[in-house]
C-alpha cells in the first residue's frame, strides 16, 4: 500500500511508526515550522522530525485550498491517507483523492468528544472511560463512520499528559489493526456514529485554568488533572496566585467561605470549596518550580495555623 501520512504533534508519532511498519509511506504532511522556545526560532513538528529520521519526504503546505497543493497530493497516487492530529480541515476534494479515502485516529469514543481537546475534556468532565477510534473521514468535524475502536478506563489520579501518552500508543495499535485488515483485503466495517451522545471538546483556553473556589471540589480536582501539563490550573491561595499541579477532592462539610485554608500540613493544603475541600498536593509559586505542599509551607509557615484566610 502507498500511504500518505498527515500529522503534527507528539500524539501522532506512534501512529506514524505503526503505519511505516505496515505499508510504504510515500510522503508525510505536517504543519509548517512554527516559532518556539525563548529564541522563537522556527521549530519542526515532532512528526516532521520522525519522518526526516526515517528518510520520508515531508510536505508542509499552509492549506489545501489551491489546486497546486491538491495536484501535488494526487501525484503521490496514495491508496490511503492517514490523518492524526494534523491541525488542518481537509476539503472534500482532498478526501476524495486516495483510493480508500482518508482515515483518522481520534482520541475519544465517538460521538463523545468530537473536536480539538478530547483527552482533557474527558478528564475534566469526570468520565470513567475513554478510548480511541479509527474513523473514515467526512467533511464534518469528526462525524465519519467508525471502523475500529478501543476503550480504556481513566485512572482516578491520571493526568492529561499521562492519558495523552497512553492513548497515543493505543491509537497506534488500532491503526495497525486497521491497516493489517486492509492489506488482507478485509476492509473494516464502517459503523455510522449514533445521533445521540454527541459532545464537543473545544480547544483549551488558558483562561479556563483559573480555578473558582466556589465550584465543587470534585470539579476542581478533575480540572487540575485535565490541565496537567498544560495549561496548568491556577488559583489564589492565601494572598498569592499559585499554579496547582496535583490535588485531591475531599468530601468535607466545612461551613467556611470558599478559598479559606482549612488545614495545612505535610499531606497538603486543604482549601474550602463550594462543596467539599480541595487538598493541594503539588503547587508552584510565580517564578518557581513545582514543589510538594510540605516544601511550599517551609516558606509560608503562617499557613500552618488552620483556618488562615
How many C-beta atoms lie closer than 10 Å to residue 32's C-beta? 12
Is 141 annotated to bind ligand? no
| 229 in Cβ contact with 159 (< 8 Å) | yes
Q: What is the grid cell recorded at 299?
A: 516558606
Q: Which of these, 185, 77, 85, lies nearest to 135 by C-alpha position? A: 85
Is 110 annotated to bind ligand? yes
DSSP state of 188: P
Phi, psi of 272 (to 5 degrees): -65, 135
Say how many CA atoms lie within 13 Å of 110 toward its Cβ. Answer: 27
CA separation, residue 192 to residues 48, 70, 149 (Å): 33, 28, 13
Phi, psi of 283 (to 5 degrees): -145, 170
* Cα Rg, the chain, nearest whole Å: 23
Name the H helices within the chain.
13-22, 46-53, 67-75, 92-95, 118-124, 160-183, 217-226, 293-298
Is 108 annotated to bind ligand? yes
**Distance between CA atoms of 25 and 85, rounded to whole angstroms?**
17
- Binding-site residues from annotation for (6S)-5,6,7,8-tetrahydrofolate: 108-111
- Binding-site residues from annotation: 108-111
Amino acid at each position: 500500500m502507498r500511504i500518505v501520512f498527515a500529522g503534527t504533534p507528539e500524539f501522532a508519532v506512534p501512529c506514524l511508526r505503526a503505519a511505516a511498519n505496515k505499508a510504504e509511506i510515500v510522503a508525510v504532511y505536517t504543519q509548517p515550522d512554527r516559532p518556539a522556545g525563548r529564541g522563537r526560532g522556527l521549530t519542526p513538528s515532532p512528526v516532521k522530525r520522525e519522518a526526516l529520521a526515517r528518510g520520508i519526504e515531508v510536505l508542509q503546505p499552509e492549506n489545501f485550498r489551491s489546486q497546486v497543493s491538491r495536484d501535488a497530493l494526487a501525484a503521490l497516487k496514495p491508496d490511503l491517507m492517514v490523518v492524526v492530529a494534523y491541525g488542518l480541515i481537509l476539503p472534500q476534494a482532498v478526501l476524495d483523492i486516495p483510493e480508500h479515502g482518508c482515515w483518522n485516529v481520534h482520541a475519544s469514543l465517538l460521538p463523545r468528544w468530537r473536536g480539538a481537546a478530547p483527552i482533557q475534556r474527558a478528564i475534566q468532565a469526570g468520565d470513567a472511560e475513554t478510548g480511541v477510534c479509527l474513523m473514515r473521514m467526512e467533511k464534518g468535524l469528526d462525524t465519519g463512520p467508525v471502523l475500529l475502536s478501543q476503550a480504556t478506563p481513566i485512572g482516578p489520579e491520571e493526568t492529561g499528559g499521562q492519558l495523552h501518552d497512553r492513548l497515543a500508543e493505543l491509537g497506534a495499535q488500532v491503526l495497525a489493526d486497521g491497516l493489517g485488515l486492509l492489506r488482507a483485503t478485509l476492509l473494516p466495517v464502517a459503523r455510522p456514529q449514533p445521533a445521540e451522545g454527541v459532545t464537543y471538546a473545544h480547544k483549551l483556553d488558558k483562561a479556563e485554568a483559573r480555578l473558582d473556589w466556589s465550584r465543587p471540589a470534585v470539579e476542581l480536582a478533575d480540572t487540575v488533572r485535565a490541565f496537567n501539563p498544560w495549561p496548568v490550573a491556577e488559583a489564589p491561595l492565601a494572598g498569592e496566585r499559585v499554579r496547582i499541579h496535583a490535588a485531591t477532592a475531599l468530601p468535607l462539610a466545612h461551613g467556611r467561605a470558599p478559598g479559606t485554608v482549612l488545614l495545612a500540613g505535610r499531606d497538603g493544603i486543604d482549601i474550602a470549596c463550594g462543596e467539599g475541600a480541595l487538598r493541594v498536593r503539588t503547587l508552584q509559586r510565580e517564578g518557581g518550580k513545582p514543589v510538594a505542599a510540605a516544601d511550599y509551607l517551609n516558606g509560608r509557615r503562617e499557613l500552618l495555623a488552620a483556618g488562615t484566610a
